Structures are given as structure tokens and as C-alpha cells.
Chains A and B, each alone.
Chain A
Amino acid sequence: MIEIAAFRIEEALLGQGLPSFADGKLVVGDIAAGDETLREMRARIVAPGEAVRIENALDVVLPTCDAADPGVSFPGVVGPHGAAVGERLNRLEGLVVVPVCDWLAAGYAQAEEFPGSYIDRDGPGAALDPWRSESMLVLEFIPVPGTPAGEADASIRKVTLGVARDLAATTLGKQADRVEVFGPTPAGALPRVCAILQAGSEGPLLDTYLRGRPLLDQAPLVLPIEDLFGGAVTAGAYDWAGMRNPTACYQSSALIRELLARDGRELSFAGAILTLGYLDGAEAKREMAAHNVELAVSLRAQAAVCTTFESGNSHTDTMLTVQALERAGVRTVALVAETNGGLTDHVPEADCLVSTGNEDESVAAWTPDETIGGAAPLGPIPAALHLGALTQMGDARLQAVPA
């Protein structure tokens, strides 16, 4: 069982000293720039509706801490790797933490290696942002030249998650606005449904982390929701902004929430499986699909919701998992982003699909008053480059319909 205590922010501003929170007012205090790998860090709060474009946005993190021991929050990154996240989380609402780093300008990536990652706070792109109603604490990082990319990224993640933890810790001892309780309910004869959460992990700047370690080569596993909501899964894969899963998608997964909300009434939640996508070869993809089936069957799942990570060959991973599950008698629905011209891959067994949008559709050009994190591009930007717009974890409201 896990409780999430929510504290609503009415006003957020930068300040000095320690962070504080009282009567809905959050003061973000001094933020340490990190270790020797980071040359500079600039903080800025951007409210919804400001004519600002945030470019090279790496992640979105919900300020959260373990209520009993903030030190164990985000285990493996700022908390100890093996720490058990407690039964109650404190979470600030109304502000998210957004780290920004221009890898290209910092010399880590070649042109076109990493497509853009944009968050528009106003204009036509703002509607695509799953966190559009939140203020954003933007942390713009500049690594020390020559620092290996993986080390700079690890430092950025540590500072970001540390800030998220410290801001949430200002709520300790205070009265929450709302407390959500997620726990097991009597199953009865309801259909058992599991979630299969796909993530990518292909090396530095392309990894998803479990307790601070890359998922790379990790076999699929059953992930307790305490770990998921408690920040054990963190994002570090920076291509395909629109279709990747920022950390917030794990911390407050709309899919898991939906399943838990119906748990005991319409279905019996069987558990969440964390699995890998973007595997290198056909055999590896088939093996992973078979592993997913084994775990789903071990959870006695009769049905599964399959998510997809990013774009391209990860869709083959999803389709093979759907095929293997259906052949094993486990009914499926899968969440997929579309391209102009349709799906990247499809199997006949995938007869129940949810569209998270058309990644190739361009969003009309918009000229912000200010750009943070890079030079503003001219012209329209594809939906695929708006961070989280088409996340196939189910947190967004975009859908592709016939034109």
C-alpha cells in the first residue's frame, strides 16, 4: 500500500537560503550547481501562459519525497540504491522540475543525432504539453567541456532529483491538501489485468534507470507500485521527445492510476511489469516478448495493457509482445504513436490499439518572446519534438483521428 499526500502550490518563486513552503507559497532556495562535471546551472521559474519556449528539455520531475525519510527518495540516484521507499510520499502539486542541457552545444552530440525537445508554455504547442497547467522550475545546465557525457548526465540527474526531493521535503509536518491511498482490494471474480511498461536503455543519454542503474540487459521484472510512484524509475533517454517517458510518467503513471481506480470494481490489478524495448535483433525481441508472457502468466493476468517507448523499432517489441500474449490467451490493448502513413509495425493479433497521436504532424509555427536552453527554431515543429506530447504510457490526451 502507498499513500501520496499532495500539497498544492499557489505561488512559486526563486529565493535564497533553504527552500520553504507555507500557505501555498513555495520559495525555491539556493541550488548547488552540482559537482565538478557541471560548469554552470541557471534556475528560472516559468509559469503557464508565458510566451516562453523551453528547448533541449531533458526531463520532467514531480517534486516528491519519502515522508518518513526524505533521504531514501529517488533510490539509487540521490537515495541509497537498495533503500525501500516508504509507504507515504509527500508531493508538491503545481510545479514540476525541468532540467535542460544543450548536448550539441556542449559538444556531446552530432547535429541531428538528438532531435529537439521542446516545451512551449504558450502558443499552439502548449496544448500538447501534459504538464501545461504546472509552473516549471527550469534548471539549465552547462557541463564542463570534456566531461564524459554519461558523467555529466548523471550529475544533472542527481542535482535535478535532489532539488525535487528537497522542495517536497519542505512539506514535512504540514497538513496535506489531499491524500490518495493505493492498495490491494479484494479481487473476487474480476478479470486480472497487468500493465507491461516498456522502457528504452541503449547507453549514455539513451537510458532509463531503475534505482539509478541503467536497465540495459535487464530482464523484465515485476515492479512494485511503491517503487514506480516512489521514484525508483527515472528517465535518461533523450531522443524522441514526444514519445519518450519523462520521469513524471512513472512517478504518477496515469495508466497505473487508472487500473488502480478500477481495481476491485471492474478489474483486479495484477501488477506492473517493467520491460525493455529497442532491442537489437529479432531473436532478442522475441525472447523479451516471451519473458513478458511468463511474467504476465505468473501474475495470473488474463489481460494486459502494453505501453511503448519512443518511436521506430520499439514498436516491433510491442507488437511481438502483444502477439505472444494473445497466443498465450492473455487479452491485450497496446498504446502506440502513429506516423504519417500509419503504424511502424503491426501484427494481426493487435486488434485493440490506442492512438497517442500522429508524431509527424507539425504544430503551427510560433514565435516566443524568449527561449530558454537553446536557439529558437523557425517554422513549425513536429509533434514528435514536443516533450511528452505522445507518451505511450497514456498520460497525454492526444489522439490521431482521420483527417
Chain B
Amino acid sequence: MKVVHYLNQFFAGLGAEEAARHEPIRLEGPQGPGKGLVAAGLQVDITLACGDDYFGEHETEALGWLLDRLSDEAPDVLICGPAFGSGRYGYACGVLGREAARRGYAVVTAMTQDNPGVIAAEGAAYIVPTTSNVAGMRAALPTIADLATRLANGETIGSPEEEGYLPRGLRRNEIVERTAAARAVELLLAKIGGETRTEVAPSAGRVTPAPKVADISAATIALVTESGCVPLGNPDRLPTRHSNVWLRYRLDGVGSLGSDGYESVHAGFDTTAANVDPNRLVPLDAMRELERENAVGGLYEELFTTSGVDTPVAVAATFGCEMAEVLVSAGVRAVILTGT
């Protein structure tokens, strides 16, 4: 069995925060927590490490390098972390774990349940829950080692409840015997007969609307859009579809979104008309007018934007949570959310 272990700069012994921009590196044998995995009965052959900031700032390059090393080493299992409560480290573990799993590698990572890496992993990797700090190392490593060993051996892994990993929240595809048409007619006939069944449970994330704003003339309003509206030339490379990021742009001193300064890069609709007047994507001109009339308390001076096409629901929900956190902490009371 060949095992590759991914660590950040700190746990790989490259240094603390001053080494956070360390480029990815290949090390022989177990390092740091890898020695704990060995003690738990899992031989670690290779350690890959990368500075947290380097990964965040050069994700494509870092990920590419790490995936190339995986291709070279062809491990039976990849272990990432544990990252505990570290957001940057967890994110790197989640992204690497996701991409490695999608390339067919068995992957186990570990972190707290609310670590951004859990979302980044998109359910592709098995994630062992940990405490928020290294105090939980001793408890986590045997579980990781056991799960990794069994995955590497091709053994069947039980449910999250049985095995102790986080629910992946995913629905995997299966080829079944009967066509969807045959199943549909059967379900409909059963429903007519009084027995209602479904293959898809209703979404659990239904949101109760917030109470109305009592005094809009005193409220700070934010502009949020999924229309892919960005500064001309898309300087930050917002993906035109299947977006995995949302971006923030300052609006101070901007009275209107002119076609000479803004455009939509959304791949899900014909942007020709919208790009003639980007205010129709994000109504900044109207908001400035309301501001001048004191009809609203003020405009939050940042535009939040993404491209809402081909974005998995789970990713979109994460965007919403992240945006809401920023807006609530900034005292924003209402949002105009424009969709396309």
C-alpha cells in the first residue's frame, strides 16, 4: 500500500506564518502528524506540503503541481491534514481532496465541521470531524488511519453514522435496471392509488423571509447580483459559468455602471442588451437617485457579484452564507439581489 500525506507549512516543519508562502514541496516519508499515522499502523511513504497562503493565492499552480505529484506517485490513498479549525489549511485540504478524489484517488481528510474545506471538498473526499485545535490530534489519527487503510484496500465503507466521517450530503449516480420513464409511471400510478412516494426528497434549505425593514429611509442597502457583472475586461477572472467564487467591487465614487466600465461575463444568457447598460443588471443608477432623495439610508459601497449559471446548489448556498455574514456584520439591512 502506498500512502501520500498532504500537510501545510506548519505541520510539515517548514515554518510557521513566515513560511505560509512556501511553494509546494515533496518530502520523503512521514512528517509531523504523519508520524502519528505511522504509530496508528499506517505507513506514510511521501509527504506533500504547501504554504497556506501560497495555495490560496496560486491555487491553480499549486493544485496542478500537487496533482502531478500524485500522478507520479500513484498512491493507494491520499490523506490531507488534519486541518482542525484552520480555514486556509482546511480549504487547501478540501480542494486537493476533491480534485484528487475526482481523479479516482481514495482520499481522507479531517477538519472541523464548519471549516470552509468541508464545502470545498464538495463531498468528494471522506472527512473525519475533529476538534478546532490540535488537542484533537490523538483522537483523530486512528480514525483517519483506519478509514484510509480500508479505502486503500478497496473495502466497502459504511454510512457516516457507522464510520464516523461527516455526511457527504451528496447524491451519487447509479445505473439502475429500469428507465426513469418506467419509474415515473409506476410512481404516478401509486400516487393515484393513494401512496405517494418520491425519489428526491424536498430540499431542506427553505428559508423563511426576514421581517420587513421598518424604516427603509434609515436602512443601508446592498447590491448583490448573479448576473456576472464585473469591471470591463473581467480583471479578476470571474468564471463565466460553474463559478466557484463571488467577488467584491468598491462602488465609492461610482454613480452609474456605464458600458465603458462594466460588463456581464455570464455565460447563461445573451448579454448583448445588458452590456449596453449594465445598470439594468445592477441598478446602481436608481440606487444613487434614491440616495440623493434620502429615500434610503444609504448604499453599501461594495457590489457582490458572481455568475449564476451551472453553479451547484450547494456552492450557491455557500456563497449566500458568506455574503450574508459580511453584510450583516456591516449593518446592511436589505439587499437588492438581481438575477438573470
Interface flags, A370-398, vs B, CB<8A=1, else 0: 00000000011001100000001111111
Cα–Cα distance between A273 and B310 once the two chains are bound (Å): 28
Taking CB atoms and an 8 Å cut-off, the chain A residues in 330-366 that contact chain B are 331-333, 335-336, 338-344, 346, 348, 350-358, 360-362, 364-365
Identify the closest chain A residue to B241 (Cβ): A112
Q: Answer whether residue A14 sits at the interface, using C-beta atoms and an 8 A cutoff.
A: no
Count, chain A residues at interface, CB 8 A? 67
Q: Are B312 and A257 in touch, CB under 8 angstroms? A: no
Q: Which of B188, B199, B309, B313 contacts A399 (CB 8 A)?
A: B199
Q: Which A-chain residue is minimally distant from B307 (CB atoms)?
A: A112
CA of A115 to CA of B242 in the docked complex: distance in angstroms?
Answer: 10
Known: A115-B241, A356-B180. A342 touches B205 (CB 8 A): yes
Q: Could you tell me which residues of chain A, from 203 to 259, have a CB within 8 Å of some CB in chain B?
A: 203, 253-255, 257-259
B-side contacts of A351, CB under 8 Å? 196, 198, 202
User: CB distance B191 to A333 under 8 Å?
Assistant: yes
CA distance in complex: A267, B188 (Å): 10
CB of A284 closer than 8 Å to a CB of B: no
Q: Which residue from chain B places its CB closest to the CB of A347 in the assembled complex?
A: B202
Given A354-B184, A403-B123, do A346 and B203 touch, yes or no (CB 8 Å)? yes
Given known pairs A331-B191, A339-B312, A348-B202, the reply for A358 and B172 (CB within 8 Å) is yes
Decide if B198 touches A353 in the complex (CB within 8 Å): yes
Q: In the docked arrangement, what's the CA distance between A312 and B240, Å?
A: 15
B312 and A335 contact, CB distance less than 8 A? no
Is there an interface contact between B202 and A254, defined as CB atoms closer than 8 Å? no
A296 close to chain B: CB less than 8 A: no
**By DSSP majority rule, is chain B's interface helix, strand, loop, or mixed?**
loop
Write out the residue numbers on chain A whose beta carbons fall within 8 Å of the beta carbon of B310: 115, 311-312, 384
Residues of A contacting B176 in the complex (Cβ-Cβ under 8 angstroms)? 397-399
Expressed in whole angstroms, the Cα–Cα distance for A184 and B285 within the complex equals: 61
Which of these binds chain A: B19-27, B28-36, B163-171, B213-221? B163-171
Task: Determine if B169 and A341 form an interchain contact, defined as CB atoms under 8 angstroms apart.
Answer: yes
Give min CB distance, B76 to chain A, whole Å. Answer: 16
The answer for the CA separation of A184 and B189 in the assembled complex, in Å, is 19
Q: Which residues of chain A in 134-183 are interfacial with respect to chain B, using CB atoms and an 8 Å cutoff?
A: none
Is there an interface contact between B170 and A340, defined as CB atoms closer than 8 Å?
yes
| Residues of B near any A CB (own CB < 8 A) | 102-104, 122-123, 168-185, 187-189, 191-192, 196-200, 202-205, 239-241, 267-268, 270, 309-310, 312-317
What are the nearest 10 A-B pairs in CB distance?
A341-B314, A394-B181, A341-B313, A400-B171, A340-B312, A403-B170, A254-B181, A255-B181, A353-B200, A333-B188
28 example contacts (A-B, Cβ-Cβ < 8 A) are as follows A112-B239, A112-B240, A115-B310, A191-B189, A253-B181, A254-B179, A254-B182, A255-B184, A267-B185, A333-B188, A333-B191, A338-B200, A340-B314, A340-B315, A352-B191, A352-B196, A352-B198, A355-B199, A358-B172, A358-B173, A361-B172, A362-B102, A364-B103, A364-B104, A392-B180, A394-B181, A399-B176, A400-B200
